[in-house]
Amino acid sequence: MSIEMKTQLGVVDVSKDVVATIAGGAAVDCYGIVGMASQKQIKDGITDLLGKENFRRGVVIREIDKEIHIDMYIIVSYGTKISEVAYNVQTKVKYQLEQMLGLDVDSVNIFVQGVRVTNP
């Protein structure tokens, strides 16, 4: 599966895995994020931190009527304001995808899967 972008010089196909990896990397760089959680483990009630090589497992890319929607499953640090962390993730992911790929993202939905105490 890929996302098709049309330019004046032709068509560019970008894999959804690439988009998910870029989005996951941008999210983890935000203050207050401990890591990404796998969206498939929600049913079990288990939220494991994903390593750097598995960021895309915590991101779901949906394409509906040529609109791009991104769902992100994150784990936040204890003591941070969750609404501010979620807003920062939304804006950074949207900005990074626009700058790196020229991709216009319609929505970035944040699902907080847990709160963890981080070691100082």
- Overall domain count for the chain: 1
Contacts by 52-55 with C-beta closer than 8 Å and gap 24+?
A: 52/25, 52/28, 55/20, 55/21, 55/23, 55/24, 55/25, 55/27, 55/28
pLDDT (tens digit, 0 to 9) for every residue of the chain, 120 residues total? 788 888 888 998 889 889 999 999 999 899 999 888 877 654 544 455 555 556 677 899 998 888 899 999 998 999 999 999 999 999 999 999 999 988 899 999 999 988 888 665
- Residue corresponding to tokens 């890929």: 2
Which pLDDT belongs to residue 58? 84
In Å, how far are 10, 50, 78, 92, 101 from 89, measured between CA atoms?
Answer: 32, 17, 16, 5, 18
What pLDDT score was predicted for residue 35?
84
Q: For residue 37, what are the domain limits?
A: 2-116
Q: What is the CATH number of the domain that holds 98?
A: 3.30.70.1350
Helix (H), strand (E) at residue 64: strand 59-64
Selection from 69, 97, 60, 75 nearest residue 30 by Cα? 75
